[in-house]
Amino acid sequence: MTLRCQPWSRADKRADKENLLTPEVRAEIDAWLAKYPDEWKQSAVMAALRIVQEHNGGWLTRELMDQVADYLDMPPIAVYEVATFYSMYETKPVGRHKICVCTNVSCMIRGADRIVEHLENKLGIRMGETTGDGRFTLKEVECLGACGGAPMFQIGKQYYENLTPELVDSILENLEADDGE
Ligand code: FES
């Protein structure tokens, strides 16, 4: 069985690709597509989903995933599989700041539980929830590859390591300052 892109059976019914996504998003995806041969377009699916998610307030709608599938000549199910497998993608709305807390082995041994408890108390939400003002989402994730700095979490593209409750407070205060609050 080949994994190469074959014109998918819905191809004839597909909207003109010019009508898919926005020109800005298409341009960013095209930059990734340029790295792969035409028959391996699906190799850009992770980048495409990340780009689309960033342009949609941090989450992916079914319609957007379908458009990515059409743009990359993939069956929608193959795109859903990627979007629901990796923790970096969201299929429901999230807060402005998504705090991805690692609770895997190294972080657990180094006190991730204490960090989770502190965050939940401080923000008044549990893991998987978003604050009522839409500013913070708490998400539990597996190892983010920064075990040497455990316990750690990720917010946006930034890693925060060797966390303590005091450091968490300071990070949240800085985010509030950045938000102008
Ligand atoms: S276990 Fe937390 S970053 Fe690896």
pLDDT of 13 > 50? The answer is: no
Q: For 142-168, how does the pLDDT look when each residue is reduced to its tens digit (9 = 90+)?
A: 999 999 999 999 999 999 999 999 999
Residue 3: pLDDT band with limits 50, 70, 90: low
Instruction: Provide the CATH number for the domain around residue 171.
Output: 3.40.30.10
Q: Which of 150, 151, 153 has its CA nearest to residue 138?
A: 153
Instruction: Provide the CATH number for the domain around residue 28.
Output: 1.10.10.1590
Is the residue at 125 inside a domain? yes
Residues 9-23, mean pLDDT to the nearest whole number: 70
Same-domain check for residues 69 and 118: no
Q: Are 167 and 175 in contact (CB under 8 A)?
A: no
Q: Are 130 and 96 in contact (CB under 8 A)?
A: no
Which residue, of 58, 85, 112, is where some domain finishes? Answer: 85
Residue 47 CA to ligand 1 center (angstroms) comes to 23
Q: Which residue has the higher pLDDT, 4 or 13?
A: 4
Same-domain check for residues 119 and 158: yes
Which residue, of 26, 57, 85, is where some domain finishes? Answer: 85
Q: What is the C-alpha to C-alpha distance for residues 150 and 3, in angstroms, rounded to an integer?
A: 38
Domain enclosing residue 53, as ranges:
11-85
pLDDT of 21 > 70? The answer is: yes
Residues 14-31, mean pLDDT to the nearest whole number: 88
Query: Could you tell me the two tokens for 119?
Result: 């965050």
Q: Are 29 and 71 in contact (CB under 8 A)?
A: yes
Q: Which residues contact 175 (CB under 8 A, 6 or more apart)?
A: 97, 155
pTM equals 0.86
Q: What is the C-alpha to C-alpha distance for residues 11 and 62, in angstroms, rounded to an integer?
A: 18
Residue 1: pLDDT band with limits 50, 70, 90: very low
Evaluate: CB of 106 within 6 angstroms of ligand 1.
Answer: yes
Same-domain check for residues 22 and 69: yes
Evaluate: CB of 150 within 6 angstroms of ligand 1.
Answer: yes
Is the residue at 127 inside a domain? yes
Among 6-10, 55-59, 92-96, where is mean pLDDT lowest? 6-10
Which residue, of 28, 54, 85, is where some domain finishes? Answer: 85
Q: What is the C-alpha to C-alpha distance for residues 7 and 39, in angstroms, rounded to an integer?
A: 9
Predicted pLDDT of residue 179: 84
Q: Which of 83, 78, 74, 76 has its CA nearest to residue 52?
A: 83
User: 154 - beta bridge partners?
Assistant: 100, 159
Residue 144 CA to ligand 1 center (angstroms) comes to 5
Is the residue at 161 inside a domain? yes
